[in-house]
A and B are shown apart, each in its own frame.
Chain A
Amino acid sequence: MAQNIAVKVDDLTVAYNYKPVLWDIDLEIPEGVLMAIVGPNGAGKSTLIKSILGILPPIAGSVTIYGKPYKKQRSLVAYVPQKGSVDWDFPTTALDVVMMGTYGSLGWIKRPRQKEKKAALEALEKVGMLAFKSRQISQLSGGQQQRIFLARALVQNASIYFMDEPFQGVDATTEIAIINILKELRKAGKTVIVVHHDLQTVPEYFDWVTFLNVKKIATGPVKDIFNDDNLTKTYGINYKVSIQE
């Protein structure tokens, strides 16, 4: 495969209170894949993307984005945190939250202007939330809140998207809408990395997968490595999924 490597993780070790959560992770994510990170609870899935994004400092190891250190490549990366990580009663509107996606490119002090607003409105339209732009965020349903978060990341116009459990607590329509957008992103040559819980949908949604349980178990194309063997290695005792053909 003569693909570019979008994200390269080298010997990454992360510990919470000196309790190791991720051990010596080596990972290469090729450009243009739609990748799921799967593993049991406490396997360090969220920790992996948080430390790739510099939110949690690693004990050892390094991360490069297209061959350069992450800090220099921030503008290429967008992040969708877990929906539950923020206070949805915060006094702000849907449009305002999406506009936050432009803050990074604006840098310190500079205010968003018409151009940024236009980009935010476009992103809202893409996730089907334009009608809700002035809605207070606490008055949105769980699925709508997740779409707002996705729109905020879309505004960043990045090459690589990291998403932490975007399907958690959303309705079926939203799940389909989100996965369609992710597939569109892949078509446009972007790389999408998703922490995912539902093993059943992995073959349907994703083309690349990483099995994680403190250590990296396996990584590669879904069709090659998404099998009972790797699932058992990741989840312990004889794990079988019935994969619908």
Chain B
Amino acid sequence: MSLNEYFSLVFSDYTLRTITLGTAILGAVCGMLGSFAVLRKQSLLGDAISHAALPGIAIAFLITGAKDSNTLLLGALVSGLIGTFWIKGITSKTHLKSDTALGLILSLFFGFGMLLLTYIQKQPNANQAGLDKYLFGQAATLVESDVWLMAVVTGLCLFVILLFWKEFKILLFDPDYTKTLGFNTRIIDILITSFIVLAIVLGLQTVGVVLMSAMLLAPAAAARQWTNSLSTMVILACIFGALSGVFGTAISASQNNLSTGPVIVLVASVFVLFSFIFSPSRGVLFRQLRFIKNRRDLEQHKTLAFMYHIAKTHDNISHPHTIKILNNFQGFTRGTLQKLVKKNYVELDGNMWSLTDDGFKKASNLYNQQNNE
């Protein structure tokens, strides 16, 4: 199936519609909650939580024998939460730092999960084929009930965020101050963290435990570059997330052998890369351009100031001088001279230059400004 076919089929074909809707919703909810995770400086917590969910899936399968994704996700939720609280326990009660705690929980839980998975695979009666998809995600396995679950959780999430928007915002910005206003910061904190865990668990089937954290971070990090308002950032992150989901699914469905997770993550990464470079206010490209322009301006100003000092010693400011004396001055180039001529600050006559009235005024302004600072 080619990409074109995919897009022509997406509205008519039941399976494709379900899958696309599922990844779009997932991308949106991840973008929404990811914004909070990024602003709370908990970017890597998502990585730890998603890895920590793996043993939960395996244990849920071992206990119930069910392949029903809701049961397995419940297991993931429980072990994800255990991982989260253990990380908090390690950082608050020992001298191990948060990066160590994250790395520990991430790798130890995941290793244990892999042990259980390989154990399950060797069981004769286990119809294990279903569990592999939780590593890298397989959107094709989404069914209508999964999408319904996602939609319900997303709706709930949206409702809570709208309801407590003010509280979330102030807690993210200034937790101490929030406390003095009489808000119970712990409740707000638990609310945000639980929803983040929920979103991660929800995405495991589609994106997989290994790459789920990027789904949370990338849309939010991209959105941050385009706006300075929290609400716009959250909305943009939703859109970027949903688009990554849709395009990722489209690409992965149109090729053989491509897990959905890595493709979605790559699409989201492209959004990030594009935003980092081309965002007008923060992007690297425009910043570099501004930097170059500033440096040029500075060179011109310096040359002009140098000329001003020479011209000042003469009664007639437009008394011509040879270009040679400028050569001793660092930062002088033919280019800057040409630009000054173009701006009508300087007149050239053969090998001689002279300041114009405009140039003299400009230079004396610059000079005074400098002295005032």
Contacts and interface: CB of A to CB of B under 8 A. Distances in A.
- Note whether A and B contact each other (Cβ less than 8 A): yes
B349 interface: no
Contacts of A111: 165-166
B228 A74 contact: no
A104 B227 contact: no
A55 interface: yes
A74 B228 CA distance: 31
Given A54-B179, A54-B180, A93-B229, A106 B166 contact: yes
Contact of B170 (A53, A93, A103): A103
Interface of B: 39, 41, 163-167, 169-170, 172-174, 176-183, 224, 227-230, 232-233
Given A92-B169, A97-B173, A108-B167, A77 B180 contact: yes
Nearest to B41: A87
Interface in A101-152: 103-104, 106-112, 136, 152
B5 to A, nearest CB: 40
Contacts of A211: none
Given A91-B228, A100-B173, A112 B180 contact: no
A81 interface: yes
Interface residues of A, number: 29
B39 A90 contact: yes
Nearest to B170: A100
Interface in A168-207: none
A245 B194 CA distance: 60
Contacts of B176: 50, 55, 79, 81, 85
B282 to A, nearest CB: 10
A93 B227 CA distance: 11
A106 B164 CA distance: 12
A86 interface: yes
B235 to A, nearest CB: 12
17 contacts: A53-B179, A54-B179, A54-B180, A71-B182, A79-B177, A79-B180, A86-B173, A87-B41, A87-B173, A90-B39, A90-B172, A93-B228, A100-B173, A104-B182, A109-B164, A111-B165, A152-B177
Interface of A: 50, 53-55, 71, 74, 77, 79, 81, 85-87, 90-93, 97, 100, 103-104, 106-112, 136, 152
What DSSP secondary structure best describes chain B's contact surface?
A: helix
Contacts of B166: 103, 106, 109-112
Contacts, number: 76
Contacts of A77: 180
Contacts of B229: 91-93
Most chain-A Cβ atoms within 10 A of its Cβ — which of B163, B167, B169, B228?
Answer: B228
A111 B177 CA distance: 18
A50 B177 CA distance: 10
B94 to A, nearest CB: 12
B179 A55 contact: yes
Given A87-B173, A100-B174, A92 B180 contact: no
A111 B229 CA distance: 17
A106 B62 CA distance: 50
A172 to B, nearest CB: 14
Given A81-B174, A85-B174, A85-B176, A104 B228 contact: no
B164 to A, nearest CB: 7
Contacts of A109: 163-164, 166-167
B161 to A, nearest CB: 12
Contacts of B181: 74, 103-104
A55 B228 contact: no
A114 to B, nearest CB: 16
Nearest to B231: A91
Given A87-B173, A103-B166, 5 more contacts: A79-B180, A92-B229, A100-B170, A103-B170, A108-B167
Contacts of A110: 166
Contacts of B178: 103
A159 B170 CA distance: 22
A109 B169 CA distance: 12
Most chain-A Cβ atoms within 10 A of its Cβ — which of B41, B180, B232?
Answer: B180
A166 B176 CA distance: 16
A145 to B, nearest CB: 12
Contacts of A104: 180-183
Contacts of B232: 91
Contacts of B224: 91
A90 B176 CA distance: 16
A171 to B, nearest CB: 13
Nearest to B174: A86
Nearest to B184: A108
B177 A91 contact: no
Contacts of B39: 87, 90-91
Task: List the 3 closest A-B pairs by CB distance, nearest first.
Answer: A104-B181, A136-B228, A79-B180
Given A93-B229, A108-B167, A136-B228, A74 B182 contact: yes
Nearest to B40: A87
B230 A91 contact: yes
Contacts of B179: 53-55
Nearest to A52: B180
Contacts of B172: 90
Contacts of A91: 39, 224, 227-230, 232-233
